[in-house]
Amino acid sequence: NAGVTQTPKFRVLKTGQSMTLLCAQDMNHEYMYWYRQDPGMGLRLIHYSVGEGTTAKGEVPDGYNVSRLKKQNFLLGLESAAPSQTSVYFCASNDSGYYEQYFGPGTRLTVT
């Protein structure tokens, strides 16, 4: 099992550009999450999904959109990137019956 994978690993964007981060999991997990990690702030939830076709807002959803068209994939979109979105983005997943979240390797995004 690959677990949780994220594409790409690194990306540099200019202000105003858009992009999509892809998260894939092969554990048949129902729940998927997108977090961002900023220095000194731990991880903060952006959006999450409790199943295929569902999405919901987390703590810091502004400027991001998500989609979960297939159970194994969870996409995070930046419509118009801003320097404040420079961060490391982590995807995570867990099964409905368990509470540990398993994390992907992260995507380091820089917006200039």
Partner 1 sequence: AQKVTQAQTEISVVEKEDVTLDCVYETRDTTYYLFWYKQPPSGELVFLIRRNSFDEQNEISGRYSWNFQKSTSSFNFTITASQVVDSAVYFCALRGSNDYKLSFGAGTTVTVRA
**Residues in the site for partner 1, rule: CB under 8 A?**
31, 33, 40-45, 48, 50, 56, 58-59, 88, 90, 92, 99-106
Q: Among candidates 72, 73, 58, 71, which has minimal Cα distance to 20?
A: 73
Compute the distance between CA of residue 80 and CA of residue 104 in angstroms, rounded to an integer. 24
Q: CB 19 → partner 1: shortest distance, Å?
A: 20
Q: Which is nearer to partner 1, 17 or 108 (CB)?
A: 108
Q: Which is nearer to partner 1, 48 or 64 (CB)?
A: 48
Q: CB 52 → partner 1: shortest distance, Å?
A: 15
Compute the distance between CA of residue 43 and CA of residue 41 in angstroms, rounded to an integer. 6
Q: Which is nearer to partner 1, 16 or 105 (CB)?
A: 105
Q: CB 38 → partner 1: shortest distance, Å?
A: 10
Q: Which is nearer to partner 1, 77 or 102 (CB)?
A: 102
Eight-class DSSP state of 40: T
40-62 in b/e form (b: 16+ CB < 10 A) is: eeebebbbbbeeeeebeebebbe
